[in-house]
């Protein structure tokens, strides 16, 4: 069933943290190495969902804040006691944070849902301090071009969410227009670490095929 991104995340929210997800596992494996020093640094998670990255950073001594437009996702994030008082409902293109607020601004698996990518990246740049870092991760465009969808299952029902498919050039150009300095990109494929999740999902036969295709794209920029 094809649904809007908002409707999809409303439905997905109650089970988002409990269902095995190889894409999130792969992103986590790579992105943890890119966050840099965490203690006492201020992290802003834009489109924070259930607060999985906020929880990770908080547990390691970071100061966390998060914004999301989906009320149901924020409800799930609010269940985590350590995140209460750090969450706001807001659009990625209109963040209620002062300029140069964060040491690191993160947007994880949301770029493909943003109707105005340039505006959202400009906001990420605005709220990041001089010398800070902006990180964007998303489903890799090569995965999309190979027919991968942004989808999930709830019982017997299969939901596919409407999305945009920004190219790598489009993502990098958005950062350039926001006057960020591009540092690096990571085109990451599934590895042996994610294979057990494919087995758990009953998709072991698919692993060899999909592991040859970049699954997650991560871009890192500095705020000059």
Q: What is the pLDDT of residue 139?
A: 97
* Residues lower than pLDDT 50 in the chain: none
The answer to whether the beta carbons of residues 39 and 136 sit under 8 Å apart is no
- Name 219's bridge partners: 136, 185
Nearest partner of 178 among 218, 144, 132, judged by Cα:
132
pLDDT of residue 198: 96
In sequence order, what DSSP letters do the residues of 73-131 get, joined into one string?
Answer: HHHHHHTSGGGTTSEEE--TTS--S-TT-EEEEEEES-GGG-S-HHHHHHHHHHTEEEE
pLDDT of residue 185: 98
pLDDT value at residue 64: 98
CA angle 4, 115, 25 (to 5 degrees): 70
The pLDDT, as a whole number, for residue 39 is 97
Task: Record the pTM.
Answer: 0.96
Q: What is the pLDDT of residues 44-61, one digit of tens each?
A: 999 999 999 999 999 999
β-pairing verdict for 181-188 and 216-222: antiparallel
Write the CA distances from 195 to 10, 104, 176, 206, 217, integer angstroms: 28, 31, 36, 10, 19
* Fold that domain 2-222 belongs to in CATH: Rossmann fold (3.40.50)
DSSP conformation class of 173: H
**What is the pLDDT at residue 218?**
98
Q: How far apart are CA 198 and CA 54, in angstroms?
A: 26
Measured in Å, how far apart are the chain's first and last C-alpha atoms? 44
**Residue 36, phi-psi category: left (phi > 0), alpha (psi -120 to 50), beta (remainder):** left
Query: Could you give the 3-state DSSP secondary structure of residue 63?
Result: strand
Looking only at the bridges linking them, the beta strands covering 102-108 and 42-46 are parallel
Domain spans of the chain, in order of start: 2-222
């Amino acid at each position: 069933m094809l649904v809007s991104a908002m409707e999809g995340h409303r439905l997905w929210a109650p089970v988002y943290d409990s269902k095995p997800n190889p894409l999130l596992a792969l992103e986590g494996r790579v992105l943890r190495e890119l966050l840099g020093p965490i203690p006492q640094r201020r992290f802003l998670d834009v489109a924070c969902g259930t607060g999985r990255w906020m929880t990770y950073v908080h547990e390691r001594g970071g100061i966390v804040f998060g914004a999301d437009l989906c009320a149901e996702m924020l409800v799930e994030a609010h269940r985590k006691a350590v995140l209460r008082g750090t969450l706001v409902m807001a659009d990625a293109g209109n963040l209620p944070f002062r300029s140069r607020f964060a040491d690191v601004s993160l947007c994880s698996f949301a770029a493909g849902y943003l109707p105005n990518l340039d505006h959202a990246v400009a906001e990420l740049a605005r709220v990041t301090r001089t010398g800070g870092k902006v990180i964007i991760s998303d489903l890799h465009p090569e995965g999309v071009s190979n027919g991968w969808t942004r989808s999930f299952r709830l019982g017997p029902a299969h939901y596919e969410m409407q999305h945009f498919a920004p190219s790598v050039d489009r993502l990098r150009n958005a950062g350039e227009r926001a006057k960020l300095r591009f540092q690096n990109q990571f085109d990451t494929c599934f590895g042996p670490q994610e294979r057990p999740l494919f087995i758990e999902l009953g998709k072991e036969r698919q692993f060899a095929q999909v592991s040859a295709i970049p699954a997650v794209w991560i871009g890192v920029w500095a705020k000059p």
